[in-house]
Every structure is written in structure tokens, then in C-alpha cells.
Amino acid sequence: VLARCRQGDPGAFRAFVAYYERLVFMVISRLAGRGPHVEDLSQETFLRAARALRSFDPQGPAKPSSWLLTIATRLTLDARRRRRVPLEPFTDTEEFAAPGTPETERSHRELGRAIERAAAALPDDQRAVFVLAELHGLTMSEIAGTLETPEATVKTRLFRARERLRAALAPYWKDAKEP
Amino acid sequence: MTEPEHVGDHVPLHAWPFETPPPGFAARVAALAFPRRSPGPAWVRWTVFAAAVTALVAWFVARRDRIAVEGEVDASGERTSVAIGSRGVAVLEPGARVSWRDGRVRQERGEVFYRVDPVRGWRLLPPVPFLVETPAGTVRVLGTCFRVRIEDQQAIIDDLEGRVEAQGGGTAVVLTPGESTVLDPMSPPASQPGATRRTGPIGEVDERLRWLQRERRELERREAELRRRESEVKRSAELGREGAPATGGGAASNRSRFDLTREDWVELARTGSVRFCVPNPAADWTKLTDLGLSPGDAETLDAAYARSRLRMAESLAPQCPEFADGGAPSIMRLILCAQSVVTDAQRTGDNLFADMRRQVAEIRAGLRPMPDPVDSISPAMRVLLSVTAESDALVRDLEANLGPEQARKIVYRDRGCAWSGGWGH
């Protein structure tokens, strides 16, 4: 598919987007919060990827997903620096207005909101490292390359992010599962 | 620093909500990333578009006068104007009828003025010729003003502007402005000079002038005819006089009509008419040589004319009250007096005056004796006797010195009469 995308095949690129759109939406939502800006940033991410397809080497060390996450992360952080996007979690009233929700679903959503609020309280650079490392499994070196930051700095940011989230999510904290 | 545990090991991070892609997101992004391939840069597209538009316009212009148009008009009651095709206008006079298809016009009757715009500029296709077909022939034109009038199976073509070609009888003639021709099925056309016809008020003036010219030509023709007849009558009269010289009451060709013989007076008496010439004493004798005289004859002439004026005064003054106190009235005053006397007589009664004329003519012809001076005769009668006698009296006076022929030539010369004329038939 990537080869056809590099040749300018719209159909192949549409398949590429469909395959990775959820990933991009996810990382942007968690870096910049939910809202209409997610779709805008996601679209811009794929458009930049399309323009950069010719320079992307499928045989190289970077996977397409990592490559897209790099683009999305840089784009989102840049937008955040330029104050083009908000980072304000939805209120409970909006989220749980519907009556009759099953209990498990309700608790799941409450947890999600808690995570969201805790992440929103993190600085952008710590949140980015946390999201990339914890949710998308990027290595320290990959994150360092993505954020163009030294690996040591990445580790420090990740450490602090985990500490703050553990404190913030203490009511939901559970012991590690048995392997 | 102890590395904190993975948060995900203790908290289900998948519960962290996120936005999901809307339906059609992938297709929309793909369309934005790879828009439909355009045929080239914008300037290329605009150039192609402009070329296409230009070609379309050129094609339309080229085909414009080839677009099929047809119709017919019958100007039954009033002047009618109609557009024919893209470059023709026809103005039909009442009674005219035309029908057309494309640039081919069929004029069946009446008078029609045509204005056809010339074909200008470059054309992809040759222009359609503008033709006017008549029962007598065809008129071909490529931009001009002309008039076609159909009369009695003939077509009269007047070219007003530009050139037209009139075809008929197997031949053709090219008309230039101001020329006209007649298409007749029985004869080939020929160009004839004509008046350039214009429209509007100037055209009306032109039409009026043409009418006057036609009238003038007709009058000239009639005048020539009358002159011809007059000459024939004169010739006949001269032939008749040569056969009977003493009759007719007129003068010979080399004689004045007032130089009357006895026979002339007989004829005048028969018709009850008189003619007279009162000699003009105020003559200019500077051109005596023209009369065949010498300068020395001037004194003789002056004396004779003085005596003539005295005779006139002696005979006419008694008829006029204004001369009762005597004196020497001028010849003109005497003539005015005589005219008033005669006019009074004419008013008194035409039969009486006619009888006077006949008696005077008979006296001059020797058919009646001269009345005695003491006889009771009317003033008008005396005037008639005086004016009809004086020219002959002057001739006799001059004969003694100049001879009879010269005397008559002088007395009856052109402008030799101060008062001349006649009464009666």
C-alpha cells in the first residue's frame, strides 16, 4: 500500500488513512484533549504524511505507525504552543447525562474521565512522553527522536508523569495483575 | 531515583476516552491529499479555454450569415421594413411582396428598397451571396443600397450605393452608384445613368427633382413637337402665298406684318381687322450704315419723323380733351390718348367698334372713300384712321429722298414703331 501511495494512488492512500486514522485520532485526543480540533489535527497529520511519503523509507528502522505518531505529536504540541487547541476535559454533566447507564459502563467512564483529568493536569512535554510510552509503546529512543529531546530528558519526564498520575489516580489504583 | 511502575499495569488506560474518526474521513483526506489530476498548470488551462472560446466565436461568426432564416412579407397597405438575414434590410412600398430564405430573396411585385451590409473581415467560409430574384431576372449584390421596382413583368433596378450585378436574358450587367437598368425577359439588360437616390428628406427632395426633370423633359418634347408643327404650318403658308401672293392678309417673309399692301387691307376688311404702326420719332440714327444709309441722311430722317409727329398731333390731339389748349404733345402722350379713346369705344359696344374696324380697313383698301373732314365721325374712328395711315404717310415722305424700298425698310425696321398692333381677328 505504501508503495502505491508513493506513486500517488488516491485509493491506496485512502486505505492507508483508514488503517491508521484511529491511531492518529487517539494520540491527538490524548495529547490535546477531545474536541473538533482532533479531526482538524488528524487531517493535517495525514496531509503532511502524504507530502512526506516520498521521503519515507518503508524498509527503514521507523515503522509507519511510529512515523505517523511522530508527525501527529509534533503537530499537536506545536498547536498547543501556539494556543490553537484547548485542553479542557469534558464535564461529568455532559458525559453522563443519559439515564439508565449500566453500572460497569458508568464506572468505566468515570475512570476514563479521571485519567483524562489527571493527564490534563500534566505539562505538555510530560503528557506527550507518557502517552507515547504507556499507550503506544514507543521506546525511549523513539520518543527522544519524536520530541527531538535527549533520551535522559525523556526518561525524566516519563518518571515525573507517572508519579503525578499515580497520585491523581490513587482511588483507581490497583495492584499489578499477576502474570 | 526508583523508576515508577507503569501506570498501565495498575490503571486500565484504555478507559481514557478519545475522539473517533467520523465516517468518510479517510476518503476526504485522500481526496485532499491527491486531488484529481489537472490537465496542466493554470495558464495552460486558461489558454486552452480561451482558444476554445475563440474558436467557437470564429465558427459562429463564420456561420452567422449562413444560418438559415426565411420568411415573407406582403406590404398590402403601408410601407413595411423587414430584416433579411444578418446583413440585409428591405423596405417595401405598399403593394410589394417579398419572400426570402437565407440570402436569396424572391420579389414578386412592387417596389422594394434594399440595404445590404458589406461582408467585412476575414471569414472561415465564403459569404453567402445576397440575391434578389424577380420574374425578369436576378440581382446579385455584396454590400450596397439599391431599389427594385417591378412593372409589367419588367424589373427596374436603381443602384444607389455600391455595386450590383443584374442578370437577365442570359447576360449580366454591373451597375455602379447612380446607374439603373431594366430587366426584361425579352431583352438583355444594359446600364443606364440615373440619379443617385437617397433616403429621408433629402431623398424626398431628390424624388421631387426627378419628377420635375421628367416634367421638363416632357414639356421639352411637347415644345419640340409644337415647333415642328409650327414650321410645317409656316412652310405650307409660304407655299400657298407663292401660289396666290395677293391674299392672306399677312406680310411676306421679308416684309413687316405692318407693311400692308392693298390686298392685305382687303383681306383685313373681310375679317373686320386693322393693323397699324405709329412711327417712332425717337430713333437712334447712329447706326445708319446698318440700314444702308450715309450719315448725311440723318437730317432727312429727322425732318421726316418730325413731320410725322406733327401729323399725328394734328389728327389725334382734337380727339383728346387734355390737348384742347394747344401745344406740342409728345408722341407718347398722343398714343396714350389714342389708346384711351379706343378703349372707350370698345366698352361702348363691340359690334360698333367692329364696324369701325371694317370701315377703316375698307378705306385703306380703297373699297370705301375717305370721309370728309367735316363729316361727323366718332373720335375712335378718327384715331383708327390716323394710326393706320401714318406709317404709309411716312414712307411716302421718305421715298422722295431714299427711294421706296429704303423708305419701307426704315419705317418698318425692328423697333421702328412707337406703337404697333391691331384690333379684330
d(CA B22, CA B40): 33
User: Residue A154: is its pLDDT beyond 90?
Assistant: yes
Tell me the percentage of chain B whose pLDDT exceeds 90.
6
Predicted TM-score of the model (pTM): 0.38
Query: Residue A112 and residue B25: Cβ atoms within 8 Å?
Result: no
Other Cβ atoms within 10 Å of B206 Cβ, number: 16
**CB neighbours of A166 closer than 8 A, spacing ≥ 6?**
A173, B4, B5, B7, B10
**CB neighbours of B382 closer than 8 A, spacing ≥ 6?**
B315, B316, B318, B319
pLDDT of residue A85: 64
- Can you tell me the mean pLDDT for B164-168? 84
Please name the residues between 30 and 89 in chain A that touch chain B, using a CB distance below 8 Å: 30, 34-35, 38-39, 42-43, 46-47, 50-51
Tell me the nearest-neighbour CA distance from B42 into chain A, angstroms: 21
- Going by C-alpha positions, the residue among A24, A61, A79, A77 that lies closest to residue A46 is A24
Please name the residues between 86 and 115 in chain A that touch chain B, using a CB distance below 8 Å: 108-109, 111-113, 115
Tell me the nearest-neighbour CA distance from A144 into chain B, angstroms: 18
d(CA B53, CA B248): 98
Question: In whole numbers, what is the pLDDT of chain B averaged over residues?
Answer: 79
Tell me the nearest-neighbour CA distance from A62 into chain B, angstroms: 22
Query: Residue A43 and residue B28: Cβ atoms within 8 Å?
Result: yes
Query: Residue A10 and residue B13: Cβ atoms within 8 Å?
Result: no
pLDDT of residue A102: 61
Burial class (CB in 10 A: 0-12, 13-18, 19+), B160: buried
User: Residue B64: is its pLDDT beyond 70?
Assistant: no
B38: chain A residues, CB-CB within 8 Å: none
How large is the ipTM?
0.81
Residue B68 at interface with chain A, using a CB cutoff of 8 Å: no
- CA B180, B185, B191: angle at the middle one, nearest 5? 20
Mutation site for A-interface testing, chosen from B5, B14, B29, B38 by largest number of A Cβ within 10 Å: B29
Model confidence at A43, in pLDDT bands (50, 70, 90)?
very high
Query: Residue A130 and residue B7: Cβ atoms within 8 Å?
Result: yes
Query: Residue A43 and residue B3: Cβ atoms within 8 Å?
Result: no
B21: chain A residues, CB-CB within 8 Å: 21-22, 25, 39, 42
- Can you tell me the mean pLDDT for B340-364? 84
Across A44-58, A113-127, B169-183, B377-391, least confident range: B169-183
pLDDT of residue B60: 72
Q: Which of B3, B13, B33 sits opposite A135 (nearest CB)?
A: B13
A34 SS3 class = coil
Residue A129 at interface with chain B, using a CB cutoff of 8 Å: no
Other Cβ atoms within 10 Å of B90 Cβ, number: 23
- Check residues B20 and B117 and name the one with the higher pLDDT: B20
Tell me the percentage of chain B whose pLDDT exceeds 70.
80
pLDDT of residue B146: 86
The C-alpha cell at B52 is: 476554445
Give the phi and the psi of residue B93 in degrees, each rounded to 5: -75, 155
Does residue A161 contact residue A127 with C-beta atoms inside 8 Å? yes
- Closest-CA residue in chain B for A90? B17
- Going by C-alpha positions, the residue among B68, B194, B388, B1 that lies closest to residue A157 is B1
User: Residue B353: is its pLDDT beyond 80?
Assistant: yes
Model confidence at B248, in pLDDT bands (50, 70, 90)?
very low
d(CA B214, CA B250): 39
**For B169, left (φ over 0), alpha (ψ -120 to 50), or beta?**
left
d(CA B143, CA B146): 10
Helix B331-348 crosses helix B379-402 at what angle (to 10 degrees)? 140
Mutation site for B-interface testing, chosen from A9, A25, A107, A177 by largest number of B Cβ within 10 Å: A25
A155 SS3 class = helix
Does residue B334 contact residue B316 with C-beta atoms inside 8 Å? yes
User: Residue B397: is its pLDDT beyond 80?
Assistant: yes
Which string of DSSP letters, residue by residue, matches A38-96? HHHHHHHHHHHHHHHGGG--TTSSS-HHHHHHHHHHHHHHHHHHTT-S---PPPHHHHT
User: Residue A157: is its pLDDT beyond 90?
Assistant: yes
Tell me the nearest-neighbour CA distance from B48 into chain A, angstroms: 26
Give the phi and the psi of residue A160 in degrees, each rounded to 5: -65, -35
- Going by C-alpha positions, the residue among A120, A160, A100 that lies closest to residue A33 is A120
Torsion of CA B400, B404, B406, B409, to 10 degrees: 130
Query: Residue A25 and residue B19: Cβ atoms within 8 Å?
Result: yes
Q: Which of A17, A38, A134 sits opposite B26 (nearest CB)?
A: A17
Across A114-123, B69-78, B392-401, least confident range: B69-78
Model confidence at A11, in pLDDT bands (50, 70, 90)?
confident
d(CA A133, CA B196): 104
pLDDT of residue B220: 81
Query: Residue B21 and residue A39: Cβ atoms within 8 Å?
Result: yes
- Can you tell me the mean pLDDT for B19-43? 80
Model confidence at B120, in pLDDT bands (50, 70, 90)?
low
- Closest-CA residue in chain B for A15? B26
Does residue B412 contact residue B265 with C-beta atoms inside 8 Å? no
Mutation site for A-interface testing, chosen from B6, B13, B14, B38 by largest number of A Cβ within 10 Å: B13
Does residue B155 contact residue B182 with C-beta atoms inside 8 Å? yes
Does residue A68 contact residue A49 with C-beta atoms inside 8 Å? yes
The C-alpha cell at B241 is: 402665298
Q: Which of B8, B16, B31 sits opposite A112 (nearest CB)?
A: B16
Query: Residue A165 and residue B7: Cβ atoms within 8 Å?
Result: yes
Mutation site for A-interface testing, chosen from B10, B14, B32, B37 by largest number of A Cβ within 10 Å: B10
Does residue B338 contact residue B316 with C-beta atoms inside 8 Å? yes
- Closest-CA residue in chain A for B17? A112
User: Residue B118: is its pLDDT beyond 60?
Assistant: yes
d(CA B224, CA B233): 14
pLDDT of residue A93: 37
B8 SS3 class = helix
Does residue A133 contact residue B8 with C-beta atoms inside 8 Å? no
Model confidence at B244, in pLDDT bands (50, 70, 90)?
very low
d(CA B138, CA B358): 74
- Closest-CA residue in chain A for B23? A18
Residue B29 at interface with chain A, using a CB cutoff of 8 Å: yes
Does residue B178 contact residue B190 with C-beta atoms inside 8 Å? no
